[in-house]
Structure 1
Amino acid sequence: MGTVVGIHGIGQQQLGRQQLLTAWQPALGDGVERACDGRKVPNVPLNMAFYGDVFLSRPESAAASKAGAASGPWWERLDEATSAELESTAGELLPEGAIQEANARPAKARTRMPGFLRAIDRHFPAGGLLAIGDLVQVRRYLSDAEVKARVDAAVDAAVTPECAVLIGHSLGSVVAFEYVRRHPGLRLPLLVTLGSPLGLNLVRRLMPNVSYGVSFGIPPTVRAWVNVRDPRDPVASAGPLGQWWPGVDDVPPVDNGRDAHSATAYLGKKATGQAVLAALPGLSGGRA
């Protein structure tokens, strides 16, 4: 029947493969059962490509750890180039004039928070600030060769020839796309992207071997590509991926509730289950 491999997203460095599987397995099972109109189905054969440790900081001493804890919020530790790119990304996600309006407002208690982050926090109150902060990891993956090599190696170790479905959430969708690109001999029945930042200028500009501003079709190594997005998800709010990769099946928008970027909310959607069933019809006894 084949297997499913999940590639997690940003900000998972404090977790591990087993913890993520514990969350992903039932969530994906719920999506499949919804696609089967509530009928119980066997557990989806799921494995997880875990790379979070690559982003886990390791202070050299207790003093260094204490100094890091006292160094203030993450945006105060950004270098100028990263801050500029995040501000440009915020401009993509926000209504016109939102950043200028935030800059004109008194900062109150968040005096040192840049205006573009205050605008994000106001427009995406449920996790927007965290989401754009974690885009720092996306940038590191695409611009730091050592980080990318370590992440890619973790995925290579997890994806076997039996893999029929590759599911990438958030940064994981970028990593999944890169896996497909790096393996030209691959024949993958289904790529599923959830809450993907692949449409953001920041991401497409940094992707290797992709001409910025040019549209591409689905990679020839992939039979089908299904993209699931909540329009209120700041990471995925650049819009349907079919704008840049014609042929992508951008299913109707979903509603993930308060946590629009939640991996488990995406996995539990009927649209996700339907996509997986199409590639693994044996889950429903051959009745996808």
Structure 2
Amino acid sequence: MTAIIGIHGIRNEQLGRNQLIPEWAGALADGLERAAGHEVAVPDLNIVYYGDLFEPDPAGKDAGDELAGLTEEDAVALSPFADEVTGRLASGPPADGEPAAKGRTAVPLLLQAVLRRLDKQFGSPKASLLFLGELKQVRSYLLDPEVKAEVDNRAENVITRGGRVLIGHSLGSVVAFEFIRQHPGYPVDLLLTLGSPLGLRTLRALMPDPDYGAGGLPPGVTRWVGLRDPRDPVACAGDLSRYWPGVCDFTVHNQSDAHSVYRYLSKRPTGTALLAALPGLADYEPS
């Protein structure tokens, strides 16, 4: 029986379940060791993989350029997320004569405006692109019935084999939440969300049941622990306990790669949460 189920986030289009499992296991081993104070064997781990569903069309203009994959239509669709983050009620194209962002002269004007506002908010073009790329895939997952059905089916097939500890990173935290909503009788001993965008009001408005579990924890979930780096653009909405008071929120610092799943997994609070959810694990040392 698998003890831990990981659900990955964006930017895994070129990978797969068998590549991700050892990488996650190595980072988890560090988190467990930091929490226990000695080496701990990582329990059985499986991964819900769906990254291939977002793989770019090799003949498309976005096949080799992350920025080129964002269109004016994306700018219109993603503007409400940028509005929420930057505190603006409306967005629009740059004013006449306003220079385009450096290196973005071929980008549609409306998208330039969105990126410029996000650059100012996050202080980094890289963070702005990460934020928009994340929310583009989140919207696709929540609003495209075929994509959502396939992702949800893959999650169900893996999780229901016995995994009762769910770790959702980035978009994976939304997928994990949706599994729990659709399976209220399934027992989850620990829901661990890392760098989650679930705190965004504009994201929750797209969910089938935006208020599911509000006021406490979703049915079936014994404990929900959330880790976030304040500089992680995807987790910029902050503490999830504002919406689900039962969430145990932890702030961590991932340094130069604030959204990295491996840095989140290797943190002491991650290991502590797993040791509490899996009794006896701290005594299980590798042979």
Q: Normalization by structure 1: what TM-score?
A: 0.86
Taking a change above 3 Å as real, the CA distance of residues 86 and 58 of structure 1, as seen in their structure-2 partners, is closer
1:127 offset after TM fit, Å?
Answer: 3.2
What amino acid is aligned across from residue 68 of structure 2 in structure 1? P
What do residues 129-180 of structure 1 show as CA deviations (whole Å, max 9, x unaligned)?
1232231010010001110000011111111353121000000000000001
1:69 offset after TM fit, Å?
Answer: 5.0
In structure 1, the partner of 2:145 is: 145
1:188 offset after TM fit, Å?
Answer: 1.1
1:210 offset after TM fit, Å?
Answer: 2.3
Whether 1:223 and 2:241 are equivalent positions in the alignment is no
The question of whether the paired residues in 2 share the 8 Å contact of 1:132 and 1:234 is answered with no
What amino acid is aligned across from residue 74 of structure 1 in structure 2? G
Taking a change above 3 Å as real, the CA distance of residues 8 and 278 of structure 1, as seen in their structure-2 partners, is same
| 1:199-218 paired onto structure 2 within 5 Å | 199-211=199-211, 215-218=214-217
Match of 1:116, SS?
A: helix
Runs of 4+ aligned structure 1 residues displaced above 6 Å come to none
Structure 2 residue corresponding to 1:110, chosen from 104, 113, 136: 104
Query: How far apart are the structure 2 equivalents of 1:198 and 1:227?
Result: 10
The question of whether the paired residues in 2 share the 8 Å contact of 1:31 and 1:273 is answered with yes
Query: How far apart are the structure 2 equivalents of 1:256 and 1:164?
Result: 27
Query: How far apart are the structure 1 equivalents of 2:266 and 2:60?
Result: 40
Unaligned runs of 5+ in 2: none
1:285 offset after TM fit, Å?
Answer: 1.4
Match of 1:188, SS?
A: coil
In structure 2, the partner of 1:119 is: 117
The question of whether the paired residues in 2 share the 8 Å contact of 1:93 and 1:234 is answered with no
Query: How far apart are the structure 1 equivalents of 2:153 and 2:159?
Result: 10
1:128 offset after TM fit, Å?
Answer: 3.0
Structure 2 residue corresponding to 1:256, chosen from 233, 254, 257: 254
Query: How far apart are the structure 1 equivalents of 2:195 and 2:149?
Result: 23
How many residues get paired? 275
The question of whether the paired residues in 1 share the 8 Å contact of 2:2 and 2:45 is answered with no
The question of whether the paired residues in 2 share the 8 Å contact of 1:7 and 1:172 is answered with yes
The question of whether the paired residues in 1 share the 8 Å contact of 2:61 and 2:69 is answered with no
RMSD after superposition? 2.8
Unaligned runs of 5+ in 1: 60-64
In structure 1, the partner of 2:263 is: 265
The question of whether the paired residues in 2 share the 8 Å contact of 1:215 and 1:243 is answered with no
Match of 2:46, SS?
A: strand
In structure 1, the partner of 2:276 is: 278
The question of whether the paired residues in 2 share the 8 Å contact of 1:32 and 1:273 is answered with yes
| 1:1-288 paired onto structure 2 within 5 Å | 3-37=3-37, 39-58=38-57, 65=59, 73-75=68-70, 77-79=71-73, 82-94=74-86, 106-107=99-100, 108-111=102-105, 112=107, 113-122=111-120, 123-125=122-124, 126-211=126-211, 215-251=214-250, 253-285=251-283
Query: How far apart are the structure 1 equivalents of 2:189 and 2:142?
Result: 26
What amino acid is aligned across from residue 200 of structure 2 in structure 1? L
1:273 offset after TM fit, Å?
Answer: 0.8
In structure 2, the partner of 1:62 is: none
Query: How far apart are the structure 1 equivalents of 2:274 and 2:64?
Result: 45
In percent, how many aligned pairs have the same letter? 48
Query: How far apart are the structure 2 equivalents of 1:232 and 1:173?
Result: 18
